Amino acid sequence: MAKVSTAIVGKNIKSIRESIGLSQKDFSILVGVSRASLIKIEAGSTGYRLNLLDGIIDFTKFNLSELSKMNFSLPDNYRDKLIRVYEEDVTVGVILNQQPTLVYCIKYSLLNSQFLKEPKEIRQITKFFADKGWVFSGNSIQIALKRMTDIIVIKKHESKGNTNTYSKF
């Protein structure tokens, strides 16, 4: 694979993993590659064997041609679809049915809802996740949101000096 191809494949595999809501550790277990190899693949590094992608292809049901596309897109509710595909496989189910990553919860739940249409404080966002059965610390949510300034608006609270509010662009 050319360097550009490995970068595209890596970006697409990372996108798949994030859309499933899995950590690198859990995803690497499900696809049968080491975490170190997955890190290299996601980074677009060259020098790995193509057979490392076999487990990813088998698990995700995307072929190499699809993974090599620059305009790769995932189906809506991909996590839910995979959970249904693997509902009979207890080993996979245990991992897929765990609490998803915070990035997943923000991108695929919080931002897909109307909740952040109006500015919210961290305590309100924490409750939003808790109502779905997901437990994250306010500090973790705050750190994650601060990394997403391209999709999240962060402003000082109008009346509470040390408090920020968060909303969608």
The per-residue pLDDT for range 87-109, each reduced to its tens digit, is 999 999 999 999 999 999 999 99
Q: What is the mean pLDDT of residues 6-31?
A: 95
Question: What is the rounded average pLDDT for all residues in the chain?
Answer: 92
Going from the N-terminus, what domains does the chain have, and what CATH number goes with each?
Answer: 3-96 (1.10.260.40), 102-168 (1.10.10)
Where does the pLDDT of residue 47 fall: very low under 50, low under 70, confident under 90, or very high at 90 and above? confident
Collapsing DSSP to helix, strand or coil, 35 comes out as helix
Strand partners, 152: 168
Q: Where are the alpha helices (DSSP H) in the chain?
A: 3-20, 24-31, 35-43, 53-60, 64-67, 78-85, 90-96, 102-104, 122-131, 138-146
Q: What pLDDT score was predicted for residue 1?
A: 47
Where does the pLDDT of residue 161 fall: very low under 50, low under 70, confident under 90, or very high at 90 and above? confident
Q: What is the mean pLDDT of residues 38-46?
A: 91
Where does the pLDDT of residue 48 fall: very low under 50, low under 70, confident under 90, or very high at 90 and above? confident
Q: Does the pLDDT value for residue 11 go beyond 80?
A: yes
Model confidence, pTM: 0.82
CB 24 within 8 A of CB 42: yes
